[in-house]
Amino acid sequence: MRCRVAGTHVPSILWYKDERLLEEESGIDLADSNQKLSIQRVREEDAGRYLCSVCNAKGCVNSSASVAVEGSDDKGSMEIVILVGTGVIAVFFWVLLLVIFCNMRRPAHADIKTGYLSIIMDPGEVPLEEQCEYLSYDASQWEFPRDRLHLGRVLGHGAFGKVVEASAFGINKGSSCDTVAVKMLKEGATASEHRALMSELKILIHIGNHLNVVNLLGACTKPNGPLMVIVEFCKYGNLSNFLRAKREAFSPYAEKSSEQRRRFRAMVAGARADRRQPRSSERALFTRLLTGKGRAERDPPAPEAEDLWLSPLTMEDLVCYSFQVARGMEFLASRKCIHRDLAARNILLSESDVVKICDFGLARDIYKDPDYVRKGSARLPLKWMAPESIFDKVYTTQSDVWSFGVLLWEIFSLGASPYPGVQINEEFCQQLKEGTRMKAPELASPAIRRIMLSCWSGDPRERPAFSELVEMLGDLLLSGGPQEEEEEVHEAPCSLSLEEGSFWQASTTALHTVKAEAAEEASWPTPLQHSVAARYYNCVAFPGSLARGAQTQGASRMKTFEEFPMTPTTYKASADNQTDSGMVLASEELEQLESRHTEAAGLRCSDTTSL
């Protein structure tokens, strides 16, 4: 509204609304010497009679007008406020969802596995991180020049790490070039992930060298490139995939050569000799390992080493693999190390049928691996975990023994996935806690079944130690070969039941097999066509096989998961074609596994390779 005035004496202008003096305030603007009245935000209460009073020395003149307000109250302004507010809230929620997604994809530092694999040191009363700080890294013993390392194909990858096949020139004294595996972080890795890999390197040094553990060969830690941990390369991949690929070539009674039998006896003799080693020698070895004086020196593989793809897979091989894993775990237990993820996918197979315990922890994407099931906010390998680990988060050597029992099941089912047809959920965990157990595979002899059940004891204190498992499996391995005079092995008559394709054996005097157990055992849902596979091992008594027989009395009355409704399940590779191990591509491995021995890898070392 405007009030135009003129006068000889400059007048003063005042505005009134409903006889109330108006002053300039929020929403009311007076301009042009009060001649112009502006209402910034028109509201219903702004309606009324407005009066302009102009006064000077001669008198006063008034002019008035009535104002009516139509429409909603401050509609335009409210729409703007609502739109702006909605936009701010939407942006806030998008940012919040992004933060939550990133946290789910990248575990917190406390959840990062710092062990060799998920191998950890038994913490005792000292936190693991502090132990890793105390462990030293001697660059003069372990540092390897990056320019002597030629990286090749990726063997496996995970959320923030990968394992690469590589050629290392001069890493061992016995050869000019060796094929190795290199563990490294992906680009963009955080400082905590770098510390985790460095801690893993120190723990590998602390663990030391053993035939049945993937050994450390060197590392590249200098700041002029990425952190790389160099370990032994195992040409036949992980045991789970190898067993599945060899199912068609499974010949339980194929004759082993005298050299192979000699090697079996040497393995058992070596294990027993290690157990008799004086404590002073163990302390000396421990000192050498902590000071870095224990670098693994590998002899070049013998040129006449048998190609495992061309040789049949036998029952003796299965027992041998089991024995070697037990021996490797016995060594880790003696070094106060807990594995936490012992499974066939974490066992690698090398030349001469040597198996090695490993776990490329950072190189497995547990978010895509079907073996790792979500429980709460974590993804865990529930099918391999002991009840105390599932419910109480307690990891000990005895929980590793439970996992070893599941590993035995994998081996004697030729790489099948444990608990077939069982849905892995909270109900499964509760049944496991209440004593329900997995039925033994058909290839498992009564002796192997007893070992499995002893490993699955609900009370961790009743499970056998790895040293006992080495002794039992070693005796079983020796009994499978030609009977030497000094071996106290006595065969007993046995009958083999082939009714309905069942693998379960009738009772034998030597093994004290309960008849009720054989009668009640049902055949496996999808039996392999090797019903004679268990005959020899079921009919041979072996020393130590009954060491824990009392603990498995009444096994026939034990509940198994087959008594509950089962859901048919088929294995499906994840979207990126990772296998159960998360280490190799499933489609490539299953199609090319048996033919790979005929192909020469582009960067694989050869006798003529040199710098």
Residues that constitute the known binding site for Mg(2+):
346, 359
Active-site residue among 341, 365, 369, 580?
Answer: 341
* The pairing of beta strand 373-375 with beta strand 337-338: unpaired
Give the contacts of 49 (CB within 8 A, at least 6 positions apart).
17, 18, 64, 65, 66, 67
**Whether 454 contacts 470, CB under 8 Å:** no
Q: Pull the structure tokens for residue 290.
A: 């902590």
Which segments of 221-313 are extended strands (E)? 228-232
The two tokens of residue 453 are 């059940």
Q: Which residues contact 169 (CB under 8 A, 6 or more apart)?
A: 148, 149, 150, 176, 177, 609, 610, 611
Q: What residues form the annotated binding site for ATP? A: 156-163, 183, 345
- Beta-strand ranges (E) seen in 248-320 are none
- Residue linked to tokens 């090749």: 152
Q: CA-to-CA distance for 334 and 182, rounded, in angstroms?
A: 26
What are 154's two structure tokens?
A: 């990726």
CA–CA separation, 519 and 131 (whole Å):
53
Q: Is 560 helix (H, G, I), strand (E, B) or coil?
A: strand
How much is the CA Rg of the chain, to the nearest whole Å? 38
Return binding residues: 156-163, 183, 345-346, 359
Length, in residues, of the chain: 611
Give the integer Cα–Cα distance in Å for 199 and 184. 13
Q: E strands within 272-410? A: 337-338, 347-349, 355-357, 373-375, 378-380
Residue 421: Cβ-neighbour burial (10 angstroms; 0-12, 13-18, 19+): middle
CB half-sphere exposure, 55, CA atoms < 13 A: 5
CA distance 576 to 574: 6
As a whole number of angstroms, the distance between CA 127 and CA 109 comes to 14
Q: Which phi and psi (to 5°) does residue 384 adopt?
A: -105, 0
Q: Which two tokens stand for residue 291?
A: 């000071």
Based on the residue annotation, tell me whether 46 is a catalytic residue of this protein.
no
Q: Which residues are catalytic?
A: 341
